[in-house]
Structure 1
Amino acid sequence: MAASGALRDGRMIGRLRLASQRLAGMEATSVPELVRWMTAMQAQDLPAALWAVGVRVPGAGLSQVRAAIDAGTVVRSWPMRGTLHLAAPEDLRWMLDLTAERLTRSIAARHRQLDISWADVEKARDLALDRILADGPISRSGLFKVFDHGGQPTQGQRGIHLLGSLCRHGWLVLGPLAGNQQLIAAFDEWIPSSRSLEREEALAEFLLRYFRSHGPATLRDFAWWTQLPLTEARRAFENVRHGLVELAFGGTSYWLSPDVVALLDSRVPGARSLHLLPGFDEFVLGYTDRSLVLAPEHSDLIVPGGNGVFKKTVVAAGKVIGTWALQGRGPHAVVVPELFGDTKPVTAAAEAAVARTAKRYLAFLGG
């Protein structure tokens, strides 16, 4: 494949993204390897995040994904956009160093409303570390009691903003699971080794890994994904573009890895694929422009009323064709798809594909 080229069929972008995101063709070998490859995976909804990993790791069960979090080989924190993500522990510090200052500035007005000063953040840090280093990881409610008793009120979102600040600045991190909640640990104890990079090096790595794991994507997609300045991303991109391939479509430049673009010379996987993806999955959320995989007229069916809560999606051949839900529990649980009204009549083969994928999801929950 040449260093750049033109793409005639926009539908191919979704299938190439399936390959980049390890949803088709290129399989991940383990939970930590998958998360490391994806660089960061949105994870404010913990059950959804667990399936987002599981759907990309053949044969993985829920217990394996949870075990990786409990072992600290996968971590969960606020590395960007003020949103929880899964990341590899060795990557978290340089991500935080790159994004924390800009995010702190963006929420400064909210902190003033909540009467949070830098002195309050430092006081909360001391209270938290004194308690955690003495007695080990603590629940969120337990930590908020420590804050309250130490003179740092937690009502009215003040507590979660204090916690977020301590995590963004690398003092705390979410640690082992306790049911569907996570205990809060001291960063340096839970992650003994996490890389620190100079800003230019960190931005170059972020760019390269985003396009390899999410491509085809644009620089605007990357800037939205990280909430880093587009002008800075453009400058840094010159240091990594030689390791990527450009595809032009509709007057826009998309970038992706040479390994994935090489599939255009043979066969792009995913033509007959069907996936039941969780809400908030990177396949939908990893881009500012989702129109090539999700028809704009269906956006409100995925995020009703633009409320920021993304529904689970049915994805066929790299295109979102509907939503799905889990009804019932345990052995009585069933997957119920709801396809968009303009979806072609469902064939017997498509129904079988949905049944197979649903069986895989139910096996994941029990595994």
Structure 2
Amino acid sequence: MTTRARTVTVTWPEANARRIGRQALSATPPASAAALPAAASGGRTPADVVGAMLGAHAQVLSAAELSVALRLPGAVRTDVREALWTERTLVKTFGPRGTVHLLPAAELPLWTGALSALPAGPGRLAPGARMTPGQTEEVLAAVADALTGAELTIDELSDAVIARTGPWAADPVVPGFQGMWPRWRQVLHLAGHRGVLCYGPDRGRKATYTNPGTTPLPGPEAVASLVGRYLRAYGPATPAHFAKWLATANGWANRLFAELAATGAIEEVTLEGAPAWVAAGDTDFSAAPALGVRLLPYFDAFTIASQPRERLFPGLASTRALGRGQAGNYPVLLVDGTVAGVWHQRRAGRRIAVTVEPLAPLTAVQLKDVAEQADRVAEILEGTAELTVGTVTVGPHA
């Protein structure tokens, strides 16, 4: 008779505290850490932090700089910029959900291998606007060729792609922010996922693109590795949580988790009475609760990837700090590992006005921590904070 091994039982506070710790968000940093070097936290670098986060959302680069630097005592936004543009240990490219992220340069083969292996979702464009598989491959080859050894603006890249493919690639059929973009633009993010495109340094006020010359890892190997990385950072989690993080199909994620479970790469636990998964052997959880106060910026990786969302955004936070169920629209106040408010910052020269709106009264100690956090935000942004505890009157993405 075979005896089934006992399933590990995990509570939400235990799971959340472990995620908080692995995200370097468990303790409030000192109000001023200017004397500390950027590598003060255990010798970690911006690339190490971004790797642990599984990418820093960088549609607004200043938010990514803040996300990374607040996890490194003593770091400021310049340290993140140097890692990106000087040391080149970070890469700005299209990451999870097709959105712009900072990713560790050393991990780009893994990311491109995994992201390019995701199942294609239903096309959002009208049938007449879509490209055939052959046209898609033709455009991707043109992008790779045009960007090899070059840094091109989007207009320059567009001219180069159309010249290498044909006038069909120029058809204005893709809805853009200020009109219609040429047909080929619908696969811009896919070029990033294939490893033939990433961002280069800005040229004045214009972004540029270049070819990082990445060879993606084989898809199955890369996807399996990414699942393990995700579960170590944000587990226990379900296939649906993983699929939501990547904006991919639940059915595909279910099959993937089943395959990995069969090989012993992941194992099942019970999270608050329901089945969930962790990386094999990663079943140690501390009973110590998450403590501390943090101000997290727009689209911080922790608020995006950590599930179930109703636990992280309980009660009033689910309506005040989420936008139609979507995390990241508001910078959030995190108290003891739970979203407990929103905040906003406005810059005028070196003065940074920080407004924090708690959703429940804070203790005197927590208010002191909020003030220290506002100072830390200003330090990262190389300014001086002026804190107001009150109502945030601006809307999302302000």
State the TM bucket, normalised to the shorter chain: 0.7 to 0.9
Residue 363 of structure 1 aligns with an amino acid whose one-letter code is: E
Comparing both structures, which one devotes a greater share of its residues to helix?
1
1: CA distance between counterparts of 2:340 and 2:258? 34
What stretches of structure 2 of length at least 5 have no aligned partner?
Answer: 28-40, 173-179, 384-398
Partner of 1:16: 18
Question: SS at 2:310's partner residue?
Answer: coil
Aligned alpha-carbon RMSD (Å):
3.2
Paired residue type of 2:129 = L
Whether contact under 8 Å (1:17, 1:215) holds in the other structure is: yes
2:260 maps to a residue whose letter is A
Match of 1:261 in 2: 284
- Of the candidates 167, 189, 192, which is equivalent to residue 167 of structure 1? 192
Matched, 1:289 2:295: no
Say if 2:110 and 2:217, in contact at 8 Å, map to a contact too. yes
Output the CA distance in 2 between the equivalents of 1:154 and 1:90.
Answer: 37
Q: Which amino acid aligns with 2:368?
A: A
Match of 1:356 in 2: 372
| 1:21/1:147 CA distance change after superposition, 3 Å | same
**What is the distance in 1 between the residues matched to 2:315 and 2:277?**
20
Partner of 1:229: 253
Q: 1:159 to 1:46 in 2, by over 3 A?
A: farther
Q: Does 1:97 align with 2:117?
A: no
Alignment of 1:141-180 (within 5 A): 141-147=155-161, 151=167, 152-153=169-170, 155=172, 156-157=180-181, 158=183, 160-178=185-203
**Equivalent of 1:6, from 5, 9, 12?**
9
TM-score, normalization by structure 1: 0.81
Q: Give the Cα separation in 1 of the matches to 2:350 and 2:280.
A: 42
Number of the residue aligned with 1:30: 45
* Percent pairwise identity: 22
Q: CA deviation at 1:111?
A: 7.2
The question of whether the paired residues in 2 share the 8 Å contact of 1:215 and 1:257 is answered with: no
Q: Distance in 2 between matches of 1:101 and 1:241?
A: 19
Q: 1:119 to 1:315 in 2, by over 3 A?
A: same
State whether residues 48 and 278 of structure 1, in contact with CA within 8 Å, keep that contact through their aligned partners in structure 2: yes
Using the TM superposition, give the Cα deviation of residue 339 of structure 1 relative to its aligned residue in structure 2, in angstroms: 1.7
2:217 pairs with 188, 196, 200, which one? 196
Q: Which has the higher contact order (CA 8 A, sep 6+)?
A: 1
Q: Distance in 2 between matches of 1:284 and 1:19?
A: 14
Structure 2 counterpart of 1:82: 98
2:348 to 320, 323, 329: 329
CA distance in 2, matches of 1:74, 1:111: 36
Q: Which runs of no fewer than 5 residues in structure 1 stay unpaired?
A: none
TM-score (norm. length: structure 2):
0.76
